[in-house]
Structure formats: structure tokens, C-alpha cells
């Protein structure tokens, strides 16, 4: 029960610190606050954020969460091109850990949109792939459609909610993805409608090649 409340608090504290210690990202937030269109986060900005998170021992999904929440606070919707992360992989070895690739197959990614929603159809975290993607882990197949993501992020529980475009196949039955929870540092769980237990995964801290 204690951990349930401690983990979201750690996420919130790290988010507030994150915007202070990264002046480049703070400038981006200030210059684009309240923008009425989608703003691209370029390679220089992303590599700078990855560099900082590497020094702090954080993981990639934590970084994406921090970015999404701060963008939402500043009423900014941003996109990160797949090519940008593929270039970053040459420095930070993003695909070393298969459990990250289960949910974020960036080598097949066209773009990610995240942050503030400009229209009712948008979500706080959306990923666009070249095609549907299936990964086999622990005798189950997790499938991500070419457009998948989450409509909202609940900060009090560190949970991405109202998922779409994801499913797991188990015993020849498909179960739809509903949410993703960060339940401990460097650990996340995917919840599926109809399954009693979530699929849990470890994420390793960002490292350089």
C-alpha cells in the first residue's frame, strides 16, 4: 500500500526537477506554450534529454512520461519522428532491452505524438508505426496496431489510461490493452481487459553505446 503512493510521488517530483535542470527543454516549453499546432521536438533536443536521463539513471519510458506531462502542463502537443529516435539509438543503444521494444518498437516507428490534446480524438501518448507489430514474450503474443496509444495519463497513480490499438493473444484469445502502470522504478505493467493479472516488464536505465 505504501509503495502505491510513493511511486507516483517520485514521478511527480522528478518531473518538476526535470524542467528546471534542462534549460534547453525549458526554453522549448516557454517558446511553444499554448501553441495551436503540433510542434516537432528535434534530434538535438531529444539527444539532450536522453543524455540527462542517462546521467540520472532513468529509463526511456520514464522520459516519455516526463515529456508528456510537462507538455500537457504547457498546453503543447509535440511530435517526435521515428528517424530522430533511430538516430539517437546510435548513441544510447535504445534497443538493447527487448522489454522496452515490446511496447515501443521505435525502429518501426513513423512518429510519436504526445502531450496536450488539441482535438477530442487525440490522446496524451500516441505512436504511429509503419505497420502492425507483434512481439512474442513468455509464450504470449503482444500486438500493436499501426496507430496505438493512450487517451490520458493519471498522475496520482502513474497510469496511462484509456488505451487503444493494443492486444495480447493468450490461449488463442485476444485481450485488449486498457492501461500501462509504472508500479516501481524501472518496472511497468500492461493491463488487458478480461485478464486478472497484468503483464509485467523490467526496463533498464538508459546507457550509452
* Residue-wise DSSP of 88-138: HHHHH-GGG-HHHHHH--GGGEEEEEEES-SSTT--SEEEEESS-EEEEET
- Distance of alpha carbon 175 from alpha carbon 156, whole angstroms: 26
207 occurs within a structural domain: no
- Distance of alpha carbon 170 from alpha carbon 140, whole angstroms: 6
Total count of domains within the chain: 1
208 occurs within a structural domain: no
Q: Are 47 and 200 in contact (CB under 8 A)?
A: no
Give yes or no for residue 4 having a pLDDT over 50. Answer: no
Give yes or no for residue 10 having a pLDDT over 80. Answer: no
Instruction: Supply the pLDDT for residue 14.
Output: 46
Taking the C-alpha atoms of 103, 196, 136 and 165 in order, what is their torsion angle to the nearest 10 degrees? -50
DSSP annotation of 96 reads G
Length reported for the chain? 209
Find the mean pLDDT for residues 102-131: 92
Q: Which three cell numbers stand for residue 34?
A: 499554448
Of the chain, the percentage scoring pLDDT greater than 90 comes to: 51
6 occurs within a structural domain: yes
Residues 142-160: pLDDT tens digits? 899 999 999 999 998 989 9
Q: Which three cell numbers stand for residue 132?
A: 502492425
The whole-chain average pLDDT of the chain stands at 84
Find the mean pLDDT for residues 28-51: 95
Instruction: Supply the pLDDT for residue 119.
Output: 96
Residue indicated by cell numbers 487517451: 151
CA atoms in the 13 A half-sphere facing the CB of 113? 21
Q: Phi-psi category of 18—alpha, beta or left, where left has phi over 0 and alpha has psi -120 to 50?
A: alpha
The model's pTM: 0.86
Structure confidence at residue 104 as a pLDDT band (50, 70, 90): confident
Instruction: Supply the pLDDT for residue 140.
Output: 79
Q: Which domain holds residue 11?
A: 2-202
Give yes or no for residue 11 having a pLDDT over 50. Answer: no
10 occurs within a structural domain: yes
Give yes or no for residue 188 having a pLDDT over 50. Answer: yes
Give yes or no for residue 182 having a pLDDT over 60. Answer: yes
Give yes or no for residue 37 having a pLDDT over 70. Answer: yes
Q: Which three cell numbers stand for residue 139?
A: 509464450
Structure confidence at residue 99 as a pLDDT band (50, 70, 90): low
78 occurs within a structural domain: yes
Residue indicated by cell numbers 539517437: 88
Rounded to 5 degrees, φ, ψ at 78 are -120, 160
- Distance of alpha carbon 76 from alpha carbon 39, whole angstroms: 7
Lowest mean pLDDT among 4-13, 26-35, 55-64: 4-13
Element (H, E) at 169: strand 159-170
Give yes or no for residue 3 having a pLDDT over 80. Answer: no
209 occurs within a structural domain: no
75 occurs within a structural domain: yes
Amino acid at each position: 500500500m505504501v509503495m502505491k503512493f510513493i511511486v507516483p510521488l517520485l514521478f511527480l517530483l522528478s518531473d518538476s526537477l526535470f524542467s528546471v535542470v534542462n534549460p534547453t527543454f525549458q526554453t522549448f516549453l516557454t517558446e511553444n506554450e499554448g501553441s495551436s499546432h503540433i510542434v516537432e521536438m528535434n534530434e538535438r533536443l531529444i539527444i539532450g534529454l536522453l543524455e540527462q536521463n542517462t546521467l540520472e539513471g532513468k529509463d526511456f519510458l520514464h522520459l516519455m512520461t516526463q515529456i508528456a506531462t510537462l507538455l500537457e502542463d504547457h498546453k503543447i502537443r509535440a511530435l517526435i519522428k521515428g528517424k530522430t529516435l533511430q538516430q539517437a539509438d546510435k548513441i544510447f543503444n535504445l534497443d538493447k532491452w527487448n522489454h522496452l521494444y515490446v511496447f515501443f518498437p521505435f525502429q518501426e516507428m513513423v512518429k510519436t505524438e504526445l502531450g496536450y490534446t488539441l482535438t477530442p480524438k487525440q490522446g496524451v501518448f500516441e505512436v504511429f508505426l509503419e505497420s502492425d507489430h507483434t512481439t512474442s514474450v513468455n509464450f504470449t503474443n503482444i500486438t500493436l496496431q499501426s496507430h496505438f496509444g493512450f487517451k490520458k495519463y493519471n498522475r496520482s497513480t502513474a497510469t496511462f489510461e484509456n488505451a487503444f490499438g493494443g492486444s495480447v493473444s493468450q490461449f488463442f484469445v485476444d485481450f485488449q490493452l486498457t492501461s500501462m502502470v509504472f508500479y516501481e522504478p524501472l518496472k511497468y505493467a500492461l493491463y488487458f481487459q478480461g485478464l486478472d493479472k497484468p503483464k509485467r516488464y523490467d526496463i533498464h536505465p538508459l546507457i550509452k553505446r
